[in-house]
Structure 1
Amino acid sequence: MTTHRLEGQHVGGRGRLADYANLVKLPHTVFAMPFALVGATLASYRYPVQALDILLILLAFTAARFAAMGFNRIVDRRIDAQNPRTQMREIPAGKLSVGEATVSVVIAAVVFFTCAALLNRLCLYLAPFALGWILFYSYTKRFTRYAHLVLGFALAIAPVGAYLAIAGEWSRPVGALLVLAGGVLCWVAGFDILYSLQDIDFDRSQGLHSIPAALGARGALAFSRVLHGLSAAQFIALGALLPELGIGYFIGAAVIALMLVYEQSLVKADDLSKIDAAFFTLNGIISVLFFLIVLGERLFA
């Protein structure tokens, strides 16, 4: 089985802007940012939304993600240098120094806290916990196979944070935000397991932990499929909890469930050739589609 692949989804071109964009895998923003907008859209049913709120939410999300990804590259730089799939990342390849990456992470963290303060007091109070969790993720593969779930939780913060940014309080009913976050958590963890299949041999050789390294390719695929089944179920449950979401939402959620089934069909234990399509293309479409479904319900239902 082929386990080492060059990474895709890079920003083309040369220069510092391209280096920093690739340091944090800027194209991967498409995975979670639409879900932040889902949280804000759901909050708009009961609370007023201003253009400045949306701008601050997007800026806060981008800054937090930049800080988390930049921190991950700093923490993992020696591991990345040994892995053929990641040794051309910006720090091990010498395109950016550790100092340059560190300064960019600090600046991003400051921007994140500033945006949180400008949104509301609750966001400011919760900001250290949110940033702390997403930075903590970078260490988890050193001691637990469930790092994928930690990553899923990190991205699940996006819709919850955006909702709180608009509402300043938890959702009613309470379960609405919980199932939305749970759906995102299971979705992210499921596709991260698929992506990690590329590194089974390397992770085992380095004593790193992951579901694929622990369970093997077939076991990891089964684990990922269970997570994606749970994700689809929770997205459907969100519609049942929120009467504002109508039949269009349920149709859209069913389409997303079918897309998750298709995603799983692309990856096989002995064939990882379609990892990029399963990981980036389909999941990017799923996140954008989910937002468009929720926005469509808000505007036209």
Structure 2
Amino acid sequence: MVWNKLKTYGELVMFRHTLFALPFGLMGAFLASGGWPPFTNLFWILVALVGARNAANALNRLIDWKIDAKNPRTASRHMPRGLVKPQEVLILSGVGLALMVLAVFRLNHLCVQLMPLAVIILVGYSYTKRFTWACHLVLGLAVGLAPLGAWIAITGQMALPPVILTLVVALWVAGFDIIYATQDISFDRKERIHSIPARFGLKNALYIARAFHLTTILLLLSVPLFLNLGFLYFMGILAAAGLLLYEHQIVSPDNLSRVKIASYHVNELIGVTVFAFTLGDMFIL
């Protein structure tokens, strides 16, 4: 019974999608340390990342509950079907936020100072689709805070490399979120939900997603200008570029049948790939 409930909660917040933020968060921690981060710092960074991400996603499900119920594509989600009560989702989100706050206070003063801004972005994202097509970029920024937050957790200060990584993640996530949103163009226009596909059309939206992902790769290529990274890092970027290229090849204005593969399954590999090759570069070469 308990296991089934935990499984339901995990499905509700799409726990496996923690893979989008987590590798880049860890990457920020390792790059800030120039090697293995202190175990205590690494532990609390992980707690903060997992807590923040899942709290935000639970809130998103709660805030968008009625919209999801109207949309044929999302009407089968847990809340519209009554499998999870609003009070449960609110508690789940509260637990996640509590974990993030606990972790932040175990790190350093700058993390504590910046925490309210992070919470505003994490919570505010879910409302942005109600008034701006730039909602995809706000989602990207929310996820992109991971490497910047991890860097600050290690060093106690801001720096250019993690800001670049934040832009990398923001544009990467925004790009594949645009692809995902192409499924809902008709619904979004009908219900006055804002998105880049609904505002600019299917073809232009896919072009914008491609531009975001091209910029993602260019930004990743700029990181070694500031940090000591070499051959294996570049191999990781090449692998990520190949995955992004594949992602855009399997989706077109005439064929959206593989949108979920392109926007979710392929991208689950990208962060892990870049992080693995970055570690290899740091510790093997």
Please indicate, yes or no, whether the TM-score normalized by the shorter chain is above 0.5.
yes
State how 1:89-168 maps to structure 2 within 5 Å. Answer: 89-168=77-156
Contact 2:29 2:150 in 1 (8 A): yes
Quote the residue 2:52 is aligned against: 64
State how 1:195-210 maps to structure 2 within 5 Å. Answer: 195-210=180-195
AA matched with 1:262: Y
Report the Cα offset of residue 54 of structure 1: 1.3
Contact 2:178 2:209 in 1 (8 A): yes
1:93-147 Cα shifts (integer Å, max 9, x gaps): 1111111111121121111101000011211121121111011000000000110
Quote the residue 1:35 is aligned against: 24
Distance 1:239 1:265 in 2: 29
State how 1:238-253 maps to structure 2 within 5 Å. Answer: 238-242=223-227, 244-253=228-237
Quote the residue 1:220 is aligned against: 205
Distance 2:259 2:156 in 1: 39
Question: Does the alignment pair 1:267 with 2:245?
Answer: no
Distance 1:66 1:285 in 2: 19
Report the Cα offset of residue 49 of structure 1: 2.2
AA matched with 2:89: A
Distance 2:152 2:174 in 1: 23
The alignment's C-alpha RMSD in Å is 1.5
Identity of aligned residues (%): 39
1:40-72 Cα shifts (integer Å, max 9, x gaps): 1101118x7222211111111111011101111
Normalised to the residue count of structure 2, the TM-score between the two structures is 0.96
2:7 to 18, 21, 25: 18
Quote the residue 1:187 is aligned against: 172
AA matched with 2:270: I
Distance 1:78 1:14 in 2: 27
Distance 2:235 2:124 in 1: 37
Quote the residue 1:9 is aligned against: none
Report the Cα offset of residue 14 of structure 1: 7.4
Unaligned runs of 5+ in 1: 1-12
1:176-222 Cα shifts (integer Å, max 9, x gaps): 12221111111110000000011111101101000000111101001
Quote the residue 1:299 is aligned against: 283
Distance 1:179 1:165 in 2: 17
Unaligned runs of 5+ in 2: none
AA matched with 1:84: P
Distance 1:245 1:208 in 2: 42
AA matched with 1:121: H
Poorly superposed stretches of 4+, deviation over 6 Å? none
Normalised to the residue count of structure 1, the TM-score between the two structures is 0.91
Report the Cα offset of residue 240 of structure 1: 2.2
Distance 1:115 1:178 in 2: 21
What secondary structure does 1:228 align onto?
Answer: helix
AA matched with 1:293: F
Distance 1:28 1:250 in 2: 25
Distance 1:30 1:107 in 2: 20
Distance 2:235 2:15 in 1: 31
1:51 to 39, 43, 46: 39
Distance 1:76 1:283 in 2: 24
Distance 2:45 2:66 in 1: 33
What secondary structure does 2:201 align onto?
Answer: helix
Paired residues, number = 284
Distance 1:240 1:260 in 2: 23
Report the Cα offset of residue 152 of structure 1: 0.7
